[in-house]
Amino acid sequence: MNSEKRLAPASVVLLFLVIFFAAGYILFPLVRLLKQSVQPAGVIFSFHAYMDVLRSTFVEAAFNSVAISLLSVLGSALIGSFLAYVFHSFDFPLKTISSKLVLVPLALPPLVGVISFMFLIGESGILTRGIATLLSIAPSHFALEGWWGIVAVHVYSFNVYFYVFVSSALSQLSESHGSAIDASLSLGASRASTIRRIVLPMLTPSFIGASLVTFMASMASFSAPFLFGGTTRYLTLEIYTAKLNGNDANAAAFAVLLSIVSVSFLLLLRWYQGRKSYVLVSKGSGRRSTVPHSPVVRLFAVAAAMVLVILLSLPVIIIVVLSFVKEGSWTYQILPHSFTVQNFVKLFGDPRVFKPIANSVEMALTATVIVVFIGVCASFLVVRKKFIGKRFLELMMNVPFGIPGTVIAVGLILSFNHPSFFSAQSILIGTFWILPLAYAVRNLPILFRSTSSGLEGLDPGVEEAAWILGSSGWQTLRRITFPLLLSSLVSGALLVFINSLGEFVSSILLYSYDTKPISVEILSQLRLYNVGGAAAYCTLLMILVMVAVGISSKISRVTLAE
């Protein structure tokens, strides 16, 4: 079909928009960063910073960062995919509420999440002290620190990526390829080999997408290494340390090298994916179909999943409990003893209490709209069309996730603190728009990956058939591609929204008085050492996330029904 080769005028317009976005808001800040790394104050060009960094701590820090990132991918893949499979394949009590709880870790802002972990598994945590008291040994033996502490925190938050990517692939699979599963089973293949030969290959794009997102997020993660890393070196910490010491060139060089490592992983995965062929030609049976399991397997799987859900909910429960604990009262005791609603009373006493929530919702929605538009166009172009510079565009769509949030924020400030072609000659710093823009840039890769995985799993033959049968390009898109893609799209958009809702790292550099987001308000509470107030505000944020999850699942259900 030549529909794959030739770019229609509509596609050219879309391509132009995507390139505009990528050039203005991703490439431009990146170039600034590069420039800073080779152009220290007063010098025209020098590789000094790179030499310096490579000679000192880079190798050690890079090794640690890559190692924890790979472990994080592995752990997240196991837990996230397992949960997705169980939630997809079985029905059990409390399934609806637990499937929403699974997503909450992503929204837990690191600032508060960390405190929650301290109260749970730190040296003075409930679990640590509880077990220590039971076994009557010193609590410090359990403290989760170093590599394993970091990996635990990463797996806690990032297994959500696998959960979401794999869930949407599974529902897409049973929508479009249920017949293949049925056929395999009725032709006498065992359940195990059906899973291995049909289900798993079909899930490859989502595994790759989620691995990439998780790897990049772990590489760029700052809070977890900062908190649990102790005195070991990691790339993000080296960037931070160099910056604190006023050594901007070294900080930029570290950041550039960090992005290079992340991009290498992307290229490696692309190469691996290229070697595998996984698109199944479907007959589109249209009815849901899953691999059946014996009751024993079912029982064990559901029980294991419920245990995981409870474990994943513990930090959230701690936050809710903390929001009701009297300030300064929970110190040497295993469990809190004096409760109060004072934290909430004080919170609602502030006339501006809802302003940050309104701000964050509005900015996160705006970011999500931008990301959906750009991300869908870009993944459609990259997966379905051929044009020069396609690989480079794909790279640009993935890169932002591998760059620390601070670096993106600084790049945006330097680019838009004066009139620019990409901001229609207006100054964006200090306005509302800069924050949604930062959120959009940071989260674009998630949606791009989720829709690309969705598109890659779709058989282009279906679209071709529609085209041959006389439907116009637009009709095909609306009636065939879009509905099949919907679950990937909605889940990607949901992740973008949740991530933006609690975003902190770039917000702190970009917010202004009228656009104060939730995370900064939580920091304000913590800065006054008001842990209860921070927990109370965080509880509001988590309620908001649950609402968002509820709305999004309603959207996909209603639209599918139509």
Partner 1 sequence: MKLTFSIFLSFIFLSCNPSNKTPLVVYSPHGKDMLQEFAKRFEKTHPDVDVQWLDMGSQDAYDRIRTEKENPQADVWWGAPSTMFIRAAKESLLAAYKPTWADDVAPENKSAHDFWYGTFATPEVIAFNSRLLSAAQAPKDWDDLLDPRWKGKIILRYPLASGTLRIIFSSIIARSVKAYGTGKEGFEWLQRLDANTEAYTPDPTQMYLRLAREEAEVTLWDMPDIVFQAEINHYPFGYNFPKSGTVSLTDGIAIVRGCKHEKLAEEFYEFVTSKESLILQARKFYRIPARGDIPRDSLPSWITSTHFTSMPIDWSLISQHESEWMEKWDAEVKGKGNR
Contact range with partner 1 by CB under 8 A, out of 158-166, 260-268, 437-445, 522-530: 522-530
Q: Does 279 bind partner 1 (CB under 8 A)?
A: no
Task: Tell me which residues in 303-332 interact with partner 1 (CB under 8 A).
Answer: 327-332
**C-alpha closest to that of 248 among 417, 406, 405:** 406
Q: Closest distance between partner 1 and the C-beta of residue 35, in Å?
A: 14
For CA atoms 80, 82, 85, 88, the dihedral sign is negative
Positive or negative: CA dihedral 48, 54, 57, 63: positive
Among left, alpha and beta (phi > 0; psi -120 to 50; other), residue 561 is alpha
Give the closest residue to 380 by CA, choosing from 461, 469, 447, 280. Answer: 447
Cβ-based nearer residue to partner 1, 332 or 474? 332
The window from 224-232, 308-316, 378-386, 477-485 that contacts partner 1 (CB under 8 A) reads: 224-232
Contacting partner 1 (CB under 8 A), which of 232, 273, 342, 471?
232
Question: Using CB under 8 A, which residues numbered 448 to 507 contact partner 1?
Answer: none
153 vs 520, beta carbon nearer partner 1: 520
Q: Examine residue 287 and tell whether it contacts partner 1 (CB under 8 A).
A: no
Is residue 525 a contact point for partner 1 (CB under 8 A)?
yes
Q: In sequence order, which ranges of 145-199 are alpha helices (DSSP H)?
A: 146-176, 178-186, 191-194
Residue from 186, 231, 277, 294 touching partner 1 (CB under 8 A): that is: 231
DSSP element (H, E) containing 300: helix 295-322
The CA R_g of the chain, rounded to the nearest whole Å, is 24
Using the structure block, give the residue that is written with the tokens 């899973």: 195
Per CB under 8 A, 53 contacts partner 1: no
Is residue 63 involved in binding partner 1 (CB under 8 A)?
no
Which of 124, 290, 313, 553 touches partner 1 by CB under 8 A?
124
Residues 92, 373, 422, 432: which binds partner 1 (CB under 8 A)? 432
Decide if residue 420 touches partner 1 (CB under 8 A): no
Would you count residue 212 as binding partner 1 (CB under 8 A)?
no
Question: Hunting for tokens 């359990």 — which residue is that?
Answer: 142
Residues of span 357-376 touching partner 1 by CB under 8 A: 358-359, 361-362, 365
Compute φ and ψ for 147, nearest 5 degrees.
Answer: -50, -50
- The CA-CA-CA angle for residues 252, 419, 256, to 5°, reads 15
Length of the chain in terms of residues written: 562
Spatial distance between the Cα atoms of 375 and 14, rounded to a whole number of angstroms: 11
Contact 84, 163 (CB under 8 A): yes
Which one among 19, 185, 429, 477 touches partner 1, defined by CB under 8 A?
A: 429
CB of 482 to partner 1, least distance (A): 18
The interface region with partner 1, picked from 163-171, 180-188, 305-313, 429-437 by CB under 8 A, is 429-437
Supply φ then ψ for residue 111, to 5 degrees: -55, -45
Coil vs helix vs strand at 77: helix
Applying CB under 8 A, does 543 fall inside the site for partner 1? no
| CA torsion angle 55 58 60 65 (round to 10) | -170
Residues at the contact surface with partner 1, assessed by CB under 8 A = 56-57, 111, 114-115, 118, 122-124, 140, 223, 226-227, 230-232, 240-241, 243-247, 327-332, 355, 358-359, 361-362, 365, 410, 413-414, 417-418, 427, 429-430, 432, 508-509, 511-516, 520, 523-529, 531, 551, 555, 558
